[in-house]
Amino acid sequence: MNMIKLYIKQKVFTIGDKYNIFNEQGQVVFTVQGEIFTFGAKIHIYDATGVEVYYIEQKLFRFLPEYNIYSGNNLVATVKKELSFFRPRLMIRSQFGDYTVEGNLFGMDFAILCNGIALGEIHKAWFSWGDSYELIVNNDDDVPLFCALVIAIDNCIHNENR
């Protein structure tokens, strides 16, 4: 069980864009590709070899934003914004358990926990090559799912007007 650090450049969570998630050595670990000209967000996450690891799809005609995460044809997780008056709240259910988010969702500075155990964290970070997000994942096996959850959460919180 290793702690993994990954980086995403800022302003990458926009539909239709293609961007990369890098490791500490600057190597591409995942490529993220949003489909354009679709109703609702449709986002694909590919590993370094070009194989799709997760697919994120926005559920349409919902009062509050909701995103499903798939591995192949299997529904793996659902990220849903809940009604709250003071700060955003999310309900995250998955085949691995329910997730909670602690921290500042709007500022993209939070931890994701599953059954009370930290899966990882995301922090806004500042580097010489520009503004970015730093993802810290606590277990190698959780890296692809954590990346998918972060992208779905960001879309849920920031992209309601699409």
Cβ neighbours of residue 50 closer than 8 Å, sequence gap 6 or more: 31
d(CA 21, CA 114): 23
| Predicted pLDDT of residue 27 | 93
Question: Contact, 143 vs 6, CB < 8 A?
Answer: yes
The CB density around residue 69, as the number of other CB atoms within 10 Å, is: 23
pLDDT in tens, 74-93: 999 999 988 777 777 788 99
| Predicted pLDDT of residue 128 | 46
Comparison of pLDDT for 55 and 88, the residue scoring more: 55
pLDDT in tens, 84-118: 777 777 889 999 889 998 888 877 789 999 888 88
DSSP β-bridge partners for residue 63:
none
Mean pLDDT score of the chain: 84
User: Which amino acid makes up residue 136?
Assistant: I
Taking 60 as the threshold, does the pLDDT of residue 14 lie above it? no
| Predicted pLDDT of residue 161 | 45
pLDDT in tens, 20-48: 899 989 899 999 888 877 778 889 999 99
d(CA 88, CA 97): 21
